Amino acid sequence: MHWKCVRYLLCSLVAARVGLAFADAAEVDFANYNVPLYEQIVSRIKAKIGTRLGEGTNTRDRYFIIPFASQNDGNDPAFSHSFISVIRVSEDGKQPELIRGDKRQKHKNREFEAFTISWLPRDFPTNPHFFVFEGFCSFLFPRMNTCPLSIGRVFKLEETIKFSVDAKNAVCMWGPYEIAKGGFDLVVKRRRLLNEGNIRYRADDRVYRKKLIAVNCFHALEDLANLSRDGGIFDTGFKIWGINGTARALAEYTKKPQFREFLLEPVDERQDRYGFVYAPTRDNRGLYDPFKRASAYHR
């Protein structure tokens, strides 16, 4: 096929997906506009988990996952990110041994610990704009991509949300979803693997992931039972980054036997999306809003 035809096809597919995103958009809620984005997200997580726990005594440890995605208008891969947080709420009156590196926290007399898998280059705070595809035809042919490998780092949720705020990105969250201890253990195992320092970061990891040399943020949280599993076209799928990337990982959680058995409640990756969109003023005209339900933020 002639390259111009290929380019036209790719552009058409992108335009169609973007059009569908805007077709889903609804009125943006400005009620918490002056509340920093990180605080909006934490408040939503606490409220939803609190409802799930109820007012009675919590007689066992409870575990929750909160998948996230961040992307700019246009879903450029260099400005897109997938990450996930997990929370363990301790049995009332008990203090279990914490995962190494975590801190015990408290909310409404309940103790919990939480951490996030947000896999990015270690120097991302000072060098947030990195190349994803560099070199002639690098998008189609991974071995022609000249982008270097980077030392990776697992960032905290607050740090990651700050990156999204600085980029004025749209942020999507799903859940919280309750999971069994086995699912929590898989996420802990994945974080431990990334923290060992043997795996590096590369946005285009097609050549390196199968040998566990480097992975991107999407593959860092996808298929928790098998980090080096093969993907589809481009090893992920066309435009599978940002919201699409996390949605893909979440859909696989519901289908793969290794993780599906750990989900303790229904998951609808499309209907469960809640968004946070950047608004420079208290005005919802012209906002980038790919969500059916969203709140506005500006800091």
Output the DSSP codes for 215-278: E-HHHHHSSTT-TT---SGGGT-TT-STHHHHHHHHHHHHH-HHHHTTB-S---TTTT-EEEEE
With 50 as the cut, is the pLDDT of residue 7 above it? no
Tens digit of each residue's pLDDT (9 = 90 or more) over 43-90: 999 999 999 998 888 889 999 999 999 999 988 888 999 999 999 998
| Residue 174 pLDDT exceeds 50 | yes
What distance in Å separates the CA atoms of residue 54 and residue 218, rounded to the nearest whole number?
A: 33
Q: Is residue 241 scored above 60 in pLDDT?
A: yes
* Alpha carbons 15 and 78: distance in angstroms, whole number: 18
Q: Out of 29-33, 54-58, 216-220, give the one with best mean pLDDT.
A: 29-33
Q: State the burial class of residue 187 (Cβ atoms within 10 Å of its Cβ: 0-12, 13-18, 19+).
A: buried
The C-alpha atoms of residue 80 and residue 90 are separated, in whole angstroms, by 33
Domain carrying residue 139: 3-297
- In angstroms, the CA 53 to CA 89 distance is 9
Tally the domains of the chain.
1
Distance CA(250)–CA(256), nearest Å, equals: 10
Nearest partner of 159 among 237, 96, 68, judged by Cα: 68
Question: Looking at residue 188, what is its pLDDT?
Answer: 92
Does the pLDDT at position 6 exceed 50?
no
* Burial of 172: CB neighbours in 10 Å, binned 0-12, 13-18, 19+: buried
Rounded distance, CA 99 to CA 101, Å? 6
The residue with greater pLDDT, 189 or 236, is: 189
Interval 178-216: pLDDT, tens: 999 999 999 999 999 999 999 999 888 888 878 889 998
d(CA 292, CA 272): 10
Q: What is the pLDDT of residues 82-122, one digit of tens each?
A: 999 999 998 877 766 656 556 666 666 778 899 999 999 99
- Mean pLDDT along residues 284-298: 93
Q: What percent of the chain has pLDDT over 90?
A: 50
Q: What share of the chain is helix, strand, coil (3-state, %, to 5)?
A: 35, 20, 45
Instruction: Work out the burial of residue 141: count CB atoms within 10 Å of its CB; fewer than 13 is exposed, 13-18 middle, 19 or more buried.
Output: exposed
